[in-house]
A and B are shown apart, each in its own frame.
Chain A
């Protein structure tokens, strides 16, 4: 035990020695190197005793395997009551919350929608997509470009943005879906970057790094939302005091509707042959082929439908911000959405929603602790992966049954191999 702890301390010394122990400061003539032995000592001692304590705790505790089925059951039980509560709280939010919270709610809901969209690709079909944000970007820029060049409004552009994103999904899918697992992940990652770099450099079309501004706001059956009121505005029509918060509330309900649509479609698809084929594909691709399922087409539909929802979310993002630039579509966005899906539990709708609330909402609330945000974020990820390797709410409910539906524990499920 002591030996193990000493070894950990040695590793810690190797890591922290240069990182904490040496500090460069701007001196009189040149940069000077200072050493901080005390700080290193504290860090190493913390690791030593921490490891010792952990080992001691582990040895006193009898080895027991948690019953995964029982835990999944109780979580599903909680989930049954949690879902309506969360839904009601969300729908009524604009009536009790302040402007800041509604803005935050819009942001969280955007990620919930992205998470649910990506869940179709990763959770159901088992295709690891690291470039999901590319379709989000396609949706956003589709709306911005169509609106500016052809003068179409948000509602007519929304389906177009989805269709275009799905089209790009298919275009990317054709060459890459024969790849599996890690290879697929890398190619999708590259695709995400290609889209961003093209947007960044095609200055004549997209404005490059300057982005695009003046993107039209959405209307409610032709009624515009503005702070000045006036003829044809929402406030004028209903005879109420014009306020900018009307638009925020309207946007909130738009994204809530879009997110619920995503949820409804993916829940519905799961119960249909197409969704079952996706899940079968995740479980065993070779068996699928032996049953006469066209693997390529099935994967493409998952990719395209996932991409379409990212496209919708992208169009919404553009109309909310009224300004988009390539900076909003970096790899970290893909990583966050993927983290939401993995943390929440692959294939679990409620889990994804909770993960989005915790990660995006929590991230915003802890903005004051900017420096520690990533640390907490990383720690939370590691913790969830240690405690519940398949995500917070994992396991699945059968899509069809003769008798009562029994929850299937995650331990029986196969992860996707791409």
Chain B
């Protein structure tokens, strides 16, 4: 079997005495949508924060391998390089857009490292040097493609903060995709969406996975509570409970796993697994 895109090995995250993630191991393969599910407080977002460099894990190894064989040990990288070099992009559970900037500006900020490889480069641009105008043109074209893919073209010049909720969710995904990621980490992208919007989102994610009708492709790591979305689009599901992995497999396997049903029904707060 080929090297997985992301290999999480015995990842442990402690906050003082609290063990949020306990010796978690799983793999996410290239070209797949891997979903991480589990009851509230299971440690899903903590795993994401470790992968994207917002937390430094207490123990464990996170190994990312690109298609061309380049490997990155994410635990040893500063946060901004995880996006810049290792090509891991993320969205947030509570949307974090640049609300006062337009949709187009949001997508251009995401291409910062392409537009401005060095500070010197950025300063030279003040005097019209450094090939900035051409780079900006390419960046705007790419932003246009992503606005088209997410149905935001008509809102290009509107401030992101004025968009409806569903559009903001899609814009955040488009913005993350503008960093050309190998792995796109989505933290509850369907939260707060109505059924129709959820369907559109599922469709968008599958298109991103397959590189169909969109400007780029990426493998996806997904945290989601909406089991409808998870079961429909995931290729591989990892179930967490209290920081441990309780199950790992295809959606069909997960649905049949008694431990998963116990974790959800035992908590008494979700019965969506049956759906």
Which A residues lie at the B interface, using CB under 8 A? Answer: 265, 268-269, 272-274, 276-277, 279-280, 283-284, 286-295, 297, 301, 396, 398-406, 408, 412-414
Contact = CB atoms under 8 A, between A and B. Distances in A.
Nearest to B175: A291
B126 interface: yes
Interface stretch (B58-66, B88-96, B243-251): B88-96
27 contacts: A272-B125, A272-B132, A273-B108, A273-B116, A273-B125, A274-B125, A276-B101, A284-B97, A284-B98, A286-B54, A286-B96, A291-B89, A291-B175, A292-B80, A292-B84, A292-B179, A293-B113, A294-B80, A301-B122, A400-B102, A400-B108, A401-B104, A402-B140, A406-B157, A412-B100, A413-B99, A414-B99
B157 A293 contact: no
B219 interface: no
B162 A291 contact: no
A293 B97 contact: no
B96 A293 contact: no
A173 to B, nearest CB: 13
A37 B158 CA distance: 61
Nearest to B185: A290
Nearest to A403: B157
Pick the 3 closest A-B CB pairs, nearest first: A292-B83, A413-B100, A292-B84
A398 B109 CA distance: 13
B191 interface: no
Contact of B80 (A276, A295, A405): A295
A412 B159 contact: yes
B119 to A, nearest CB: 6
B211 interface: no
B109 A291 contact: yes
Contacts of A273: 108, 112, 115-116, 122, 125, 132, 136
A415 to B, nearest CB: 10
Contact of A291 (B112, B125, B158): B112
Given A274-B116, A287-B92, A408 B109 contact: no
Contact of B98 (A287, A400, A401, A406): A287
What interface size band does chain B fall in? Answer: 35 or more
A146 B96 CA distance: 48
Contact of A283 (B99, B116, B157): B99
Interface string B4-42: 000000000000000000000000000000000000000
Contacts of A277: 109, 112, 116
Interface in B74-88: 79-84
A162 B54 CA distance: 36
A153 B52 CA distance: 52
Contacts, number: 135
A412 B160 CA distance: 9
A398 B105 contact: yes
Nearest to B115: A273
B156 A402 contact: yes
Nearest to B87: A292
Interface in B146-167: 156-159, 161-162
Contacts of A400: 102, 104-105, 108, 136, 140
A412 B157 contact: no
Contacts of A274: 116, 119, 122-123, 125
A406 to B, nearest CB: 6
A291 B119 contact: no
A398 to B, nearest CB: 5
B119 A301 contact: yes
B110 interface: yes
Nearest to B125: A272
A297 B89 CA distance: 20
Contacts of A269: 126
A284 B104 contact: no
B144 to A, nearest CB: 8
B163 to A, nearest CB: 10
Contacts of A295: 80
Nearest to A412: B161
Contacts of A292: 80-84, 112-113, 179
Contacts of A279: 98, 100-101, 105
B156 A284 contact: no
A82 to B, nearest CB: 24
Contacts of A406: 157-158
A295 B80 CA distance: 8
Nearest to B102: A398
Contacts of A413: 99-100
B229 to A, nearest CB: 22
B110 to A, nearest CB: 5
Contacts of B80: 289, 292-295
Given A274-B125, A283-B99, A290 B52 contact: yes
Given A291-B110, A400-B104, A265 B126 contact: yes
A402 B113 CA distance: 22
Given A273-B132, A400-B140, 10 more contacts: A272-B122, A290-B90, A291-B89, A293-B109, A294-B84, A402-B144, A402-B157, A405-B157, A408-B101, A414-B100
A290 B80 CA distance: 7
A412 B81 CA distance: 30
Contacts of B157: 398, 401-406
B126 A268 contact: yes
Contacts of A297: 119
Nearest to A290: B90
A396 B126 contact: no
Nearest to B109: A280
Interface string B109-136: 1101101100100110110000010001
A301 B109 CA distance: 16
A277 B98 CA distance: 10
Contacts of B54: 286, 289-290
B122 A284 contact: no
B18 to A, nearest CB: 22
A396 B98 contact: no
Contacts of B92: 286-287, 290
A414 B95 CA distance: 14
Contacts of B96: 284, 286-287, 290
Nearest to B106: A280
Interface in B179-194: 179
